[in-house]
Amino acid sequence: MMPSRHAVRRTGLAVLATTLLTPLASCSLVGGGDDEGADGRGEVVLLTHSSFVLPDELVEDFEAAHDVDLVVRQPGDAGAVVTEISLNPDDAGADVVFGVDNTFASRVLEADALLPYDGELPAGADAFALEGEDRLVPVDTGNVCVNVDTAWFAEQGISEPETLEDLADPAYAGLFVTPGPVDSSPGLAFLLATVAEFGEDGWEAYWERLLANDALVVDGWTDAYYGDFTATGENPTRPIVVSYDSSPAFTLSEDGASTTTRALLDTCYTQVEYAGVLRGADHEDVGRELVDWLLSPEVQAALPESMYVFPVAEDAELPADWASFAERPTAPYQLEADVVAAGREEWIARWRDLAAG
């Protein structure tokens, strides 16, 4: 790859995370400490997943407007964030959480770890709100989809898979990598897609076939996409990976006229990411302003290139490449929130047993 914009974006994430956001357990985009930044200003702490990043200039604008330093704590993927909040609902060591998605949302809500939000949502965001719930605020959306390296398949003269069932076909043995569902929200979304497709009585048999077909399970999305995936990975061995419907918009050819990957639109599961003010917030007012900022036109417009997700604001302009290469599914998998809440922990436990052999 060139590297493509996708590689630049995610490699940029790694560089930015290393340069700006380390150590992951407690880090600051500008300042440091608990209550006061290095320059004597106050701090607002954002608890989020390890893939969070926004342009420096937007962060600096927010800090200047509110006379604070934005401190970012990143304990891991979304599952790790949710676990931390659920274990410490009264004091999660932050003011705001971002990145809780619809697969994990009920755990945070059941822990009663969030305060109500009474701010105004941008046009279009209501469509992604949890019914009857004002503590989690929708910020972005997308679809977790299996992606394939089309260039690899063309070179090998092998037909590309199209469906979840295809992934268990011996023709694709040893070609698929996915993050696991324990701590990875894309990994959990993929598990939920298999539950939606094969049902409560059939998804385990599917996973048995999938694992017997030498599917590789890794800890997180970055491990899969930037480790093993042949189109983008540092140690490329697998041309099929769980990623997003927007991913092909970032794996462009050198001339930008085509993409080298494709999302399999019959494998997708809808994902919505939320933000909320934590009940133990030390700076509740600035925390609410931080949530407002995540919904602002400037941040909503930056989300596609920064975290390649779709903004919830319907009037946010998308990058030109997305219109050409970020094709969206017309009928993605989706389980009702109460179904996910009731079944998630049992499904994960049963999946653990399968993965352990």
Per-residue pLDDT at 36: 58
Per-residue pLDDT at 211: 98
Provide the sign of the torsion angle of the four alpha carbons 153, 154, 158, 163, taken in this order. Answer: positive
Per-residue pLDDT at 4: 31
Q: pTM for the full model?
A: 0.82
Is residue 321 within a helix (H) or strand (E), and if so which, with residue range? helix 320-325
For the chain (357 residues), the mean pLDDT of every run of 10, in chain order, is: 31 32 37 47 91 95 96 90 93 95 93 96 96 95 97 97 98 98 92 98 98 96 95 95 96 94 98 96 96 98 93 94 93 94 96 94
Angle between helices 203-212 and 337-356 (to 10 degrees): 40
Is residue 56 within a helix (H) or strand (E), and if so which, with residue range? helix 56-66
Per-residue pLDDT at 23: 33
How is residue 128 annotated by DSSP?
G
Task: Go through the chain and tell me how many residues it has.
Answer: 357
Could you give the residue range(s) of every CATH 3.40.190.10 domain in the chain? Answer: 5-139+272-314, 142-269+325-356
Q: Which residues of 137-161 are buried (b: 16+ CB within 10 A; e: fewer)?
A: bbbbbbbbbbbbbbbbbeeeeeebb
Which residues contact residue 247 at a Cβ distance below 8 angstroms, ignoring those fewer than 6 apart?
Answer: 6, 145, 147, 225, 261, 263, 308
Q: Which amino acid is at 348?
A: I
Which residues contact residue 252 at a Cβ distance below 8 angstroms, ignoring those fewer than 6 apart?
Answer: 2, 4, 5, 6, 258, 259, 260, 321, 325
* Architecture of the domain defined by 5-139+272-314: 3-Layer(aba) Sandwich (3.40)
Tell me the C-alpha distance between 1 and 189, whole Å: 28
Q: Which fold has domain 142-269+325-356?
A: D-Maltodextrin-Binding Protein; domain 2 (3.40.190)
Q: What is the dihedral of CA 247, 253, 16, 23, to 10 degrees?
A: 60
Is residue 140 within a helix (H) or strand (E), and if so which, with residue range? strand 137-149
